[in-house]
Chain A
Amino acid sequence: MPFQITILDTNEVYSCKETQHLLSGMMQLGKKGIPVGCRSGGCGVCKVKIHQGAYATKKMSRDHVSQDEENSGTVLACRVFPQTNISLSVIGHLHKAVMR
């Protein structure tokens, strides 16, 4: 059964299965709110703070999320698989890496 994911910044709500990471659920429904990058835990743009809910994680690059952050619920959305309904706020952003 899918869980409800709430992006607190925009009040966007979408559903996500426990076999899907949070970005995959969002993208599949054409929803927006969390920046989408590599979707594999390496680039850091989808960094979020989980306020409520239980979840499983996969490995994420320590360049972007420290162990302490991970322990306190600051994670990469593409590495988070929901086990209950979740509410989160967005920390990461797509910056313009090309200098003009």
Chain B
Amino acid sequence: MAMTGILRPGHIQLRVLDMDESVNHYCNNIGLIETDRDEQGRVYLKCWDEQDKFSVVLEPSDRSGMDHVAYKVATEQDLWHYESKIKKFGIDTKRVPAGELKGCGERVRFVVPAGHIFELYAEKEQVGNGLSTTNPAPWPRGLKGMEPIRFDHCLLYGNNFEENFKFFTEALDFQLTEQIVDGEVQLAAFLTCSTKAHDVAFIRSEKSAQLHHASFLLGSWEGVLKAGDIISMEDIPLETGPTRHGLTRGQTIYFFDPSGNRNEVFAEDSYVYPDSPVLTWTADNIGQAIFYHSRTLVDSFMGVTS
């Protein structure tokens, strides 16, 4: 097995202001599948091609934003290995008992230097992707909305940028894939724990602990266009797209959930191996780095977070 340690973003817990509107948005419009609810009023969702029970948790709240994002590690040994590395880096950790989120094993919780709550866990109940594991069909019938394949990554704004970068690359063994630099200063860092263009990205900001967006993978550019159709049909606040990013070369569209948390759906981004070179975008070309076609920054895209 080549991929070990931290495998992927396993779930994101988002705070929402109105649960019914939010479930409608995530299930009927984006097209996630509801798998459970709990006594705290949280709703558990997954994308169709994910094996694990949930990848998005909606939490009823009086404010918007991200409660936490949790990454799945390959084995329980990995969990204790990273708990120890995080502590050695000088960051406190806390164990959240198994079952606090239904179907999820024990989680190791910590606050990263950029201010966000991150967690690691090794176990989550697998409910499957609706397809047989013997002679499987390519996709299940009855999918809704934009038909997202998986929760792919989140992009976060935060402070303590250098320390945060050091933490992710040294304590959590993430690999830098792409970056935006202004001279010697890194403004954006795209990081992977796998072979994806990013499993998380950070943007240098004065504000701590901000969510820029939670992103879902689609199958094709046509899917991104169809997402745009659904956004207009359903009167969802569109921010920008469909277009292409320079960074990651993903084909993309951005919009907001009913609590103002930004969502992305995208297709066909790049990939890396451990020996891939880091791709660098320069600040004087930031327009093209972000929106490859218009080459123009969108004010709200740069300035609005939840």
Query: Which residues of A pack against B, CB within 8 Å?
Result: 36-43, 45, 58-63, 94-100
Residues in B with CB closer than 8 Å to A41 are 17, 64, 259-260
Interface size on B, residues (CB 8 A): 33
A96 x B260 contact (CB < 8 A)? no
Known A43-B304, A61-B306; judge A97-B210 contact (CB<8 A): yes
Residues of chain B within 8 A of A94, CB atoms compared: 299-300, 303-304
Asked if B205 and A42 sit within 8 Å, CB to CB, the answer is no
What is the minimal beta-carbon distance from B174 to any residue of chain A, in angstroms? 21
Chain B, range 270-306, C-beta contacts under 8 Å to A: 283, 299-300, 302-306
The reply to whether B64 and A61 contact each other, CB–CB distance below 8 Å, is yes
**Interface of chain B residues 17 through 33 with chain A (CB within 8 A):** 17-18
Q: Are B260 and A61 in contact (CB under 8 A)?
A: yes
Chain A hits for B39, CB < 8 A: none
Contact partners of B206 in chain A: CB under 8 A: 97, 99
In the bound complex, residues from chain A placing their C-beta under 8 Å from that of B205 are: 97-99
Across-interface contacts of B257 in A (CB, < 8 A): 40, 42
B258: which A residues are within 8 A, CB to CB?
A: 40
Which of A39, A43, A100 lies at the interface centre, i.e. has the most chain B CB atoms within 10 A of its CB? A43
Docked-complex contact B303 and A96, CB < 8 angstroms = yes
Q: How far is it, in angstroms, between the C-alpha of A36 and the C-alpha of B303 when the chains are bound? A: 11
Contacts of A60 in B (CB 8 A): 17
Q: Of residues 193 to 245 in B, which have CB atoms within 8 Å of A's CB atoms?
A: 203-207, 210, 237
